[in-house]
Structures are given as structure tokens and as C-alpha cells.
A and B are shown apart, each in its own frame.
Chain A
Amino acid sequence: MFYLTLRKETPLIFKVSVPIASILLTILFGIFIFSVLGYDSGKALYHFFISPLSRIDRIADLFVKACPLMIVGTGLVLCFRANIWNIGAEGQLIMGAVFAGGLALSFPNTNSVWLLPAMAVLSFIGGGLWAFLPAILKVRLRTNEILVSLMLTYVASLFLDWLVRGPWRSPTSFGFPLTNYYPDAGLISKINFPGIGTIGQLHWGVFIAILVCLLCWFMMQKTVFGFQVKLVGDSHKAFRYSGFSESKTTMMLFIISGGLAGLAGMIEVSANIGQLQPNISFGYGFTAIIVAFLARLNPAAVILAGLLIALIEMGGDSAQIALAIPKVVTGVFKGILLFLLLAGETLTKYQINVKPRQRSVPND
């Protein structure tokens, strides 16, 4: 048997090697799974990890895929860093898209340049409101935020479903559950590089995503609020002595992470879809949890982590097309990766000691 003791100091080598070792081990598991299922693991790995990086437009699409993961992931990093468990980002993302979509659909003929910024603000409010509910219940009534934010995800998803099948359905959609297209002013355009043109689907939302990650990183490193976040996560006692309000910090973090998730939803729809439909997110809100842990709760590292998870997603598509490996295998990879990352988290926090066979003595 073994037991855990708290480390006084975490060696730097652990902090760096945990994500890398987790990725390598996941690949090893992948080779094992592929060979058990009778696929050529060399080819499978090529299609998973190399093929999406083999052309410049595919790399650009990788950034597009990573865009919502980065934005949601950064918000979750802030929450998790403060030991607050907002796991309803998926629902907040949907509500953000709904709020922004409502505005875009109300002005079908506008070509105002203010439409997009207004949509962005509304999406932040929509996602923030959806996160406000579990936050206020936690602060005022000590209601479990994990359960409330999770339940609200399903409510949000059903609400969107009702909107696009009912009141917001386009009269010209031939009965399909789709809204009208947004006006052009409500769409996010592709980045047009001078002399090159557009690359893949690369759009301005990706630029915003990277900016958001860097801003959050700056906030965590250099501002008092960032200090509060880290303090409340590390030690409740020290936080109370410091005179900051724990309730206020909790509320702020919930609203920021919910708002960011909402913004991600708005960008996803305005850049890639152009209208509302029953499924606008493919579990980004949940996948972003993996991103947050892969980034070891560092907002700047979220950029890299988001790209890596996007690589697994895109690799799943390319392996499915080339080798007919079912797409669900990406879920297996993502699950294993998250398991290993969490285990690595333990190794950095605790020392594992081997216990000689004897009964543990209580009261020591």
C-alpha cells in the first residue's frame, strides 16, 4: 500500500513534465488501443497528430477549432484557480450565443459597425447571467455550485432547442430547426492577409481568443484581483485575514467565466455558423475543463492547451475519413489525457510514500 503526504515545495521539473508526460502516455495508450482494435497504429498516429499539421490551411483551422476552447478554458482557469467549480460553461456558452443571436435577428437589415460589439457585450451578459444564478445561490445560501451549474446547462440547451424550433424558427427553413441568417454586420469575417488572402477558415475571433488569454494572464500576474484569486484558492484562512470579500470574489469569478463562455458562444456562431441551430457547441464547455487542467491553470498556457485538444479533435476527423476509425475514439483520448493530468496534479502536490504493512495509527 502507499499513502500521500503534502509536499512543502514542488520541484520545477514536475510542473513542466506533468503535461508533457501525460501527452506521451496518452499516445502510448493510443497505440495500445489501436493495435487491440486491429488498426495500423503507425498510420493511425500519423492521421491523428501529423496530418492536421501538414498544410498551412489545416493549421489555420486548428486555431479556429481551438478558439472557443481557449476562451472558455481561460475563464475556467480563473475559477478553478480560486477553487470554485463552475462546470456549467456549456450552458453559459449557449446562453451567450442566444443573447447575441437575439440582437442580430432583431436587426436583419442593419449594416451598423456597432452590431458586432453590441453582440459581444450581450453575449458576455447572457453567459454571465447564467453563471450568476449558481454564484448567488452559493454565496447567499451555500447551495452546491457544481450541481446547480451542471443542471442549468441542460436547461440552457433545451431553451435554445425550443427557440430554434419555435418562436425563432426561420419561415424559409423548410421546417428545419434553424433561425434566419444573421445580417452580414453580425458575422465575424475571415482574416485577409495582405498579398496572401484568407488561410483556411482563420477568422478574427481567433485573434480575440488569444488576446483574452493574454489579458487574463496579465490580470492574474500583475493585478490585485489576480492576487485575490490565487489567495482564495490557496488558503481560505489567509484570505479572510486579508480583508478581501470572499463572496464578491466568488461572484466576480463566476460572472467573468460565464461571460467568457458566452462570448465564445457568440464568436462560434458569428464566425462559423451564421445562424442559430439546436447544436451550436460540441461539448466545448466540458472539453474546456480538460484544456484548463492541461494548461496547469495558467491562462497563457491555455493557448497551447487549446491547440493541442483541437489537434485531437481534428485528428479524430482525419483518422475517421482516412482509416474509418470511429470518431468516438477522440473521447477515449480526451478521457485518458484528463485522467493522467489529474494524476500528475497529485504528484506535484503530494509525495507518494510506500507504507510498510502495518495498521495506520490514528491521532498522530
Chain B
Amino acid sequence: MIDALILTILMTSVPLVLAATGELVVERSGVLNLGLEGMMLMGAVSAFAFTYATGSLFIGLLAGIISGAVTAAIFGFFVLGLATNQVATGLALTIFGTGLSGLIGADFVGNAITGLPTLFPKHFGDIPFIGAFLSLDIVAYSSVIIVFLVWVFLFKTKTGLILRASGISHDSAHSLGYSVLKVRWCAVLFGGMMAGLSGAYLPLMLTPHWSEGMTSGRGWIALALVVFASWMPSRIIYGAILFGTITIMQLAGQARGWTIPPQLLSSLPYLATILVLVLISIRGSAKHAAPSNLTIPFISSK
């Protein structure tokens, strides 16, 4: 029983970790992409459609990742190529992606696919205490590895340093001879791939069907998660498990007739994120603050 609960919490956390890690890299480079929800939905519908058509989960996952990147490329074209306002462009991407995914997916509603298998043999799940942790699929395990790799990239490599520099002071990065726009393009595309993968996880693993707007706000929670983690990759995992636990508690609580209003539980991630933002502002430490050039467009060669 407890094992099943832990397993659900872990599986709820996976798409949050994936999308938030991508967005973290994007924001570290100085770009705020509010189009997470749109990119995730495009990833979800493509993954479902391709899995349904080909029967191959691998092709489905790949399709999710690619369509996430393509959707992000639209965002990049406007925000990086034309220096449009990032906030408004991101919202446009969410509106656009939600609409287009619904349009593409209209024919797939009501169909079902078989989800991803667990990585280890089924009976590993019966091992006491750690059973739930051994009953996950390959994407779930990969998500932890990806977070680790992103941490290594950001803080232990020179390219990672350049990326962070672009987010803190693009003028300095530019005058040192680095191409800020190129760095941001790579970040935005990576963010799109991760959002696409995160979206793909929903129909391939959590609920094996497609429905309009099936991300149901996970994109916004992932966005909150990046802030909650104060732009540190490792904290994304704790944060995602915390947010995932709150989500599951709310469902479990409803089933058992708890007196805590489920709406209060649902709003906790948002309230906690505001609290973290306030705490960061009060402490005023640059280490945990938002990248100072976040949302400021870079215009090269004045």
C-alpha cells in the first residue's frame, strides 16, 4: 500500500523534474520561456500519435522530444531572432501549443496504447522498502541522470560557465567574444527537448491515452519548481518529490475524506514558490537569485 503510494509519487514527479530541468537551463542562460505547457502538450500529442501509429515506444519518445524542440524553435525565432518580449511570446507559445495539440489530437481521443515497461523485472517491486524505487521505467531513471549531467555541465564545464554568464550579464559575455545568441539558442532548444520528453511521459506512462490539455497545469508547476529550487539543479529533485507528494496527498486525502480542503493542498506549491522568491529577495544573496538578465533581450552588434 505504502509502496504503491511512493511509486505514484515518484511517477508524478518525473515529468516535473524533466520539464523543470530544461527550463532551468533556459533561465540560467537569461531567457524565460513561459511556453512550457504548450511545448509539453505538443510533446505529449506527438508521442501518443507516433506510438499509436508505429507501435514503437522508442519512436514515440523520440517524436515527443523532437516536437518539443520544434515548438521551442518557434519561440527562439521570435525571442532570440526578433528580440520580442519573452513573457508575451511565452504565453503565446502556450496558447498556440495548447490549441495545436488539441487540433492534432482530436482524432486520437478515446484510443489507448501500452505504456513503457518497468526497467527491472516485475518481482523487484516486491522487495521491501526499496521496491517502489525499483519499479520505475527507463525515463524515470534517466531523469535523475539528466539532472546530474546538467549540474556537471553548468558548474564544472567552461561552456556551462559561458551559459551562466550569458544569463547574468550578456554584455560581458559578448564583449569577451562569446556568442550570447548561440548559447541561448542551444539552451532554448534543450529546454524544448526536455519539455517534449516530459510531455511524452504523460501519455506513455502516467495515463495511456490522449486528452485535450492533459498536462493540466504541470507546465506551470514545473515553472514554479525552477524558482522553488532557486535555479539549482539538485534541488529540482527534492522539490519535484515534494510537489508530487502534495499532489498525491490531495487525491489520497479526497478518497479518505480528510478535512483539509484539497484546494489548499493544491495551492501549496504556488504559495511555497512565492515564499521562496520572497526569502531569496530578503537574503539578497546573488548565488540563489534569479539570473539578473532574465527576460532581457540581447541585441547583438549595436
Q: Which residues of A contact B (CB under 8 A)?
A: 3-6, 33, 37, 85, 87, 137, 141-144, 146-148, 150-152, 154-155, 158-159, 161-162, 165-166, 286, 289-290, 293, 326, 328-336, 338-339, 342-343, 345-346, 350, 355, 360-364
Contact = CB atoms under 8 A, between A and B. Distances in A.
B87 A335 contact: no
Contact of A5 (B223, B277, B281, B302): B302
A141 B270 contact: no
A162 B254 CA distance: 13
Interface string B146-190: 000000000000000000000000000011110000000000000
B236 interface: no
Given A87-B91, A331-B98, A331-B99, 19 more contacts: A4-B300, A141-B282, A144-B290, A146-B87, A146-B295, A147-B223, A147-B224, A147-B273, A154-B267, A158-B267, A289-B88, A290-B92, A331-B95, A335-B92, A338-B88, A338-B95, A342-B85, A355-B301, A362-B174
22 contacts: A5-B302, A33-B103, A143-B281, A147-B273, A155-B267, A161-B263, A162-B264, A286-B91, A289-B88, A290-B95, A328-B99, A328-B103, A328-B106, A330-B99, A331-B96, A331-B98, A331-B102, A338-B92, A339-B92, A342-B84, A342-B89, A362-B177
A247 B281 CA distance: 17
Interface in B69-106: 74, 78, 82-85, 87-89, 91-100, 102-103, 106
A350 B88 CA distance: 18
B176 to A, nearest CB: 8
B127 interface: no
B300 A3 contact: yes
B82 A143 contact: no
A280 to B, nearest CB: 15
B137 interface: no
Q: Is the interface of B mostly helix, strand, loop or mixed?
A: helix
B69 to A, nearest CB: 18
A154 B270 contact: yes
Given A342-B89, A345-B84, A362-B177, A152 B263 contact: no
A333 to B, nearest CB: 8
Contact of A326 (B102, B274, B299): B102
Contacts, number: 155
Q: Is the interface of A mostly helix, strand, loop or mixed?
A: helix
B217 to A, nearest CB: 7
A153 B115 CA distance: 34
Report, as a range, how many residues of chain B touch the other chain. Answer: 35 or more
B261 interface: yes
Contacts of A338: 88-89, 91-92, 95-96
B96 A335 contact: yes
A226 B267 CA distance: 37
Given A328-B98, A346-B83, A137 B88 contact: no
Nearest to A134: B274
A286 B227 CA distance: 21
Contacts of B82: 4, 342-343, 346
B149 to A, nearest CB: 26
Contact of A154 (B32, B176, B217): B217
A166 B89 contact: no
Contacts of A87: 87, 91
Contacts of B301: 3, 355, 360-361, 364
Contacts of B38: 335
